[in-house]
Copies of this chain bind each other. A is one copy, B any other.
Amino acid sequence: MIFPESTEEVAKAVAACSAYRIPVIPFGVGSSIEGHLLAVRGGVSIDMTRMGKVLDIRAQDLTATVQAGVTREGLNRELAHTGFFFSVDPGANATIGGMVATAASGTNTVRYGTMRDNVLSLQVVTADGQVIRTARRARKTSAGYNLTQLFTGSEGTLGIITEVTVKLHPQPEAVAAAVVNFPDVKSAVNTVILAMQMGIALARAEMLDSLTIKAINAHSRTTLVEAPTLFLEFSGSPAQVQEQSGTLQALAEEQGGGDFQWATRPEERSRLWTPRHHAYFACIQLRPGCRSFTTDACVPISGLAECLSETVADIQATGLVAPVFGHVGDGNFHCLLLVDPGNLEEVREAEGLSHRLMQRAIRFDGTCTGEHGVGLHKIPYLEEEHGAGAVELMRRIKRALDPINILNPGKVVLVDGDEGRN
């Protein structure tokens, strides 16, 4: 394990590893969950946490340039008094470099986009230890192949990201939070679809199923109705927020939504939303001692209600405990399959369920991973999702950019030398 403090040190390390054909695996805070960081062929872990400098904040351009080891909370602390913020929020306090590498997203993607939408330019160390920059800092460009987007989501397999220029957003003048429950998942999803069709700029739109609400009530001592529930956020000018949350309330009521609560003052908003932020921990406590297999399906939103209802039926058939919640505005949802790791039969049931869910997501014209990435675990599904021809193109790109296969080998796509290892 090495702890570089500069791009030059990363470049030297990679050049040396290249000369000796030793694998290199970049490491941020370790919050990825698909086995991205496992050294399946050994090698050197490049811990990026000492590359933690915010290099440049340009308020007029709405951009910030940071070293890859800066965390999203760290960046937002530096931005606190500027009137701007960095939007992508995957839950964990991940590094910006790691978030680029996995094309992370999270709760406010529906308004501000994923990491892909918020990265302008990267500095990258290539497989032979050269330093390149993928783009300049203009808001748009048509100058050649889009290397920025090629490295975004490449999970350390095409190059090591050392610096990132991200977009910033103005802090909204006003924010409102709302919580509303529904008789069924379909009416909750429909409410969000209708809002998006009307152009309501939802800042966040999270749906929690009744089991998740039950877990929250137990964990946070709340008394929420145990029914499918939307946690919503609106932002903009005070008038805009008022108008949009009013429209949303009317839409929700038409769909059978009840107990509409909303809040604008920070402490009330926080009270309303805290249960959502604690949902993961609340769910884990449904079965003390359990481990959670977390799935990450994402489908076109028109198929979300049906895909969810098939999934819940499947969960019920297995008898597993598995709360479900997700970023409904993006069609992305997570099942927390709570499993006793010592119970092999349960583990097998969970694996089967997860396998069927990924196939189902693909059948709904969706993806086996909306925001967690491929890592080790999703490799077997890429051909099913993209077809053999598209995956072969990915392999050709991997070979072209990392001919001796030292960059996080055995992840995303398998090339010569990896075959048969997974």
A interface residues, Cβ below 8 angstroms from B: 58-63, 83-84, 102-105, 109, 114, 116-117, 126, 130-147, 149-150, 152-154, 158, 169-170, 172-173, 193, 196-199, 236-237, 239-240, 243, 296, 298-302, 330-332, 361-362, 365-374, 378, 381-382, 385-387, 389-391, 393-394, 396-401, 412-413
Contacts and interface: CB of A to CB of B under 8 A. Distances in A.
Interface centre among A83, A141, A371, A391 (most CB of B within 10 A): A141
Give 5 closest A-B pairs by Cβ, nearest first. Answer: A149-B149, A60-B302, A400-B400, A141-B367, A170-B199
A135 B144 CA distance: 21
A101 B132 CA distance: 24
Nearest to A58: B302
Contacts of A367: 135-136, 138, 140-143
A142 B103 contact: yes
Contacts of A239: 239-240, 243
Contacts of A154: 145
A138 B396 contact: no
Contacts of A143: 367-369, 374, 378, 381-382, 385-386
A133 B390 contact: yes
23 contacts: A60-B300, A126-B389, A135-B367, A138-B298, A138-B332, A139-B332, A141-B298, A141-B370, A142-B153, A142-B367, A143-B367, A143-B368, A143-B381, A144-B153, A145-B150, A146-B146, A147-B386, A147-B390, A170-B196, A170-B197, A170-B198, A393-B401, A397-B401
A130 B139 CA distance: 34
Contacts of A386: 132-136, 143-144, 147
Contacts of A136: 362, 365-367, 385-386
A90 B345 CA distance: 58
Contacts of A170: 196-199
A209 B63 CA distance: 27
A105 B196 contact: no
B137 A382 contact: no
Contact of A369 (B142, B240, B301, B374): B142
Contacts of A149: 116, 146, 149-150
A196 B84 CA distance: 11
Given A83-B197, A145-B153, A300 B389 contact: no
B385 A140 contact: no
Contacts of A400: 396-397, 399-400
B144 A371 contact: no
Given A240-B243, A378-B143, A401-B396, A62 B137 contact: no
B197 A132 contact: no
Given A150-B146, A197-B170, A300-B61, A139 B393 contact: no
B331 A138 contact: yes
B299 A138 contact: yes
A169 B169 CA distance: 21
Nearest to A189: B60
A143 B389 CA distance: 15
B397 A145 contact: yes
Given A197-B60, A237-B243, A394-B147, A140 B330 contact: yes
Nearest to A297: B138
A131 B370 CA distance: 24
B130 A389 contact: yes
Nearest to A121: B365
Nearest to A114: B140
A127 to B, nearest CB: 10
A229 to B, nearest CB: 21
